[in-house]
Amino acid sequence: MNLSQRWHEARHGFSSTFWIANTLELFERLAFYGAKAVLTIFLIEKVGLAEDAGALAGMFSGVIYALPIFAGVLVDKYGFRKTLIACFAIFGIGYLLIGMAGLAFAEDIVNVVGKKPYVITVLLLTAIGGSLIKPCIVGTVTKTSKEETRALGFSIYYSLVNFGGAIGPMLALLIRTDIGIEYVLMMSSVTSFLLMFGTIFFFKEPEGVKPEGKSFKQVTKDMFLVFGNVRFISFLVIFSGFWIMFWQIFYLLPSYSKDVLLFEEFEILETVDAWCIIFFSVLIATLAKNWKPFTAMIVGFLLASVSWFLIGLFPTILMAVIAVAIFAIGEATQAPRFYEYVSKLAPQDQVGTYMGFAFLPVAIGSFAAGPISDWLRINYMTSNPQLMWQIVGAIGLACTVLMLAYDQLIVKRISK
């Protein structure tokens, strides 16, 4: 399909609600990744929770990516519009409360509760609200795209997600250096409230949509069904190693940039991954289109693992940029094929149910990456940063070996 055909489809293949939903997603991702870019440094330097900063940030993202299964029940019951309004309202309040932990006027409030209990509470509140966004936007894209343009619709959605991930940290850098790091959270709060009003005034519930009507009981039943499949869950746990590496871009790399490379603009390093995916994902997909899904995942895993060894071997800003770019290439290589491989692992009469749990490695990876980053930062950041990155790369290589063993010994190449 040439560019003119794709442009024609983009103009005429989607409703206005599709474009409104994707615009909301763009700015929501901008707010999320802006806050995410500075969260660990904010908790370390402004709030004074250096020993737990990674674990707290990991909990925040882990909950956001773990709860959409249950959030889908609320979407079915209340619809996309009401759920989105609630999501942005909670996001707005949550980011505001997180930012207050670093503001002088709120110091007495935070101290009454205690710094750590306060931060845990407001991070959980914000994450619970954030978990509502994915089923709403993905569901809207599905319902407002024609069958023949749905693939293009999700391509647009994925591109805008990455643009938000690329622009958010850059805005965070400007705000942090001009006003203060705590005001990055305030920027995310204001953006979320504006998105709430945008949803109220512009977003319309897709017409002719009948919710599936799943209950919490049914979702819990599905969860036990999936978790009972040891073969399937084992793969998701092994694959979470990729996301343990990914989250170090936000949990460990900022401190390394400031303390070892003496590069204060750490947000620039965090945004390299998103920019590379934006510019190179189509090319990479074309080059790897004839690869088997498992081959693409292994190559992606290896590239991602090697990137961390390079950061440790060559402690320069340029190598950090190159290494994160290599990681992004690995991510873009494996990501499109992961879901294809997972669909083949699932029982053929239950593919839909199982695919709903395919994002769990992102959550597991975040929960694990946080404490790992704290341990590495506290024990190796100043004494042996090279070893610190070798450990991160070794996690990736170990999971690569486990994936090879899993595919050969358990699955027996069912991806062929």
For 281-339, the pLDDT digits (tens) are 888 888 888 888 889 999 999 999 999 999 999 999 999 999 999 999 999 999 878 87
Note whether 238 and 376 are same-domain residues: yes
Q: Which of 214, 238, 264 is the last residue of a domain?
A: 214
pLDDT at 352: 65
Q: Is 48 a residue whose pLDDT tops 90?
A: yes
Note whether 287 and 305 are same-domain residues: yes
The count of domains in the chain is 2
Note whether 264 and 382 are same-domain residues: yes
Which has the closest alpha carbon to 31: 118, 103, 98?
Answer: 98
For 180-199, the pLDDT digits (tens) are 999 999 999 999 999 999 99
- Note the pTM of the prediction, 2 decimals: 0.90
Note whether 262 and 276 are same-domain residues: yes
pLDDT (average), residues 359-377 = 95
Supply 275's token pair: 């920019």
pLDDT at 1: 47
Distance in angstroms (rounded) separating the CA atoms of residues 360 and 337: 16
Supply 324's token pair: 């994160």
Note whether 262 and 311 are same-domain residues: yes
Note whether 157 and 97 are same-domain residues: yes
* 133-147, 240-254, 370-384, 386-400: least confident range: 133-147
User: Which residue has tokens 């994450």?
Assistant: 127
Q: Which of 175, 198, 214 is the last residue of a domain?
A: 214
Note whether 274 and 307 are same-domain residues: yes
Contact 297, 338 (CB under 8 A): yes
Note whether 238 and 183 are same-domain residues: no
Note whether 145 and 5 are same-domain residues: yes
Query: Residue 273, class by beta-carbon neighbours within 10 Å (0-12 exposed, 13-18 middle, 19+ buried)?
Result: buried
User: Which residue has tokens 């710094």?
Assistant: 115
Supply 279's token pair: 């510019």
Note whether 207 and 239 are same-domain residues: no
Q: Which of 214, 237, 258 is the last residue of a domain?
A: 214
Q: For residue 22, what are the domain limits?
A: 1-214
Note whether 263 and 228 are same-domain residues: yes
What CATH number has the domain bearing residue 409? 1.20.1250.20
Contact 64, 130 (CB under 8 A): yes
pLDDT at 349: 66
User: Which residue has tokens 């990155």?
Assistant: 389
Return the half-sphere exposure (C-beta side, CA atoms, 13 A cut-off) of residue 69: 24
Return the percentage of the chain with pLDDT > 90, whole number: 62
Note whether 87 and 232 are same-domain residues: no
